[in-house]
Amino acid sequence: MSTKDTQELFAQFTGKTVEALSLWADANQKIVRELAELSASAVKEGVQLSATLQSSALDAVKEGQGYWLRRQSDLAEVQKDPFAWYQKSLVEGIQETQKSFKLLEGNAQAITRTAEQLQATAERTAREIQQTFSGLAADVKALHTPAQN
């Protein structure tokens, strides 16, 4: 093998190495982009969920305060008609309990929606990363497969 042949072989090897590194760099860039989008989506969903839960908690506090203020103003009724006061208190307590369970149900639904959205986003990201690696493998294989003349 002559010096010229050696230099040509080295140039081909160097060229293929640079191409392979370029393919890896592109794949890494796509994967980092996908992971960044996944992170941004998770943050967005978390912020929305937090806002929903905080709003629900604020509503619950307002409802609770209103209930206890009504209960305090009804104390005069106890002396007039204890049975009517007890019946009214029982009915209102049941209604407030139902409101509380509706708030909890709404919170559970919000958490479920967020989890489903995050799962869908993670699955899409996983598919994109898998496609990126499959494409990379095919490109590297094609790069190192001798050309058929």
What are the tens digits of pLDDT across the range 103-141?
999 999 999 999 999 999 999 999 999 999 999 999 988
Phi, psi angles (nearest 5°) of residue 43: -65, -45
Q: What does the pLDDT read at residue 52?
A: 94
Residue 22 has pLDDT above 60, yes or no: yes
Residue 74 has pLDDT above 80, yes or no: no
Q: Distance (Å, rounded) from C-alpha 18 to C-alpha 27?
A: 14
124 versus 3: the higher-pLDDT residue is 124
Q: What does the pLDDT read at residue 148?
A: 61
Structure tokens at 72: 């305090």
Percent over 90 (pLDDT), the chain: 56
Q: Which residues of 28-57 are buried (b: 16+ CB within 10 A; e: fewer)?
A: eebbeebeeebeebeeebeeebeebeeebe
Q: Distance (Å, rounded) from C-alpha 91 to C-alpha 93?
A: 5
Residue 146 has pLDDT above 60, yes or no: yes
Q: What is the mean pLDDT of the chain?
A: 90
Q: What does the pLDDT read at residue 81?
A: 86
Mean pLDDT, to the nearest integer, of 24-46?
Answer: 96
Q: What does the pLDDT read at residue 147?
A: 65
Mean pLDDT, to the nearest integer, of 59-82?
Answer: 83
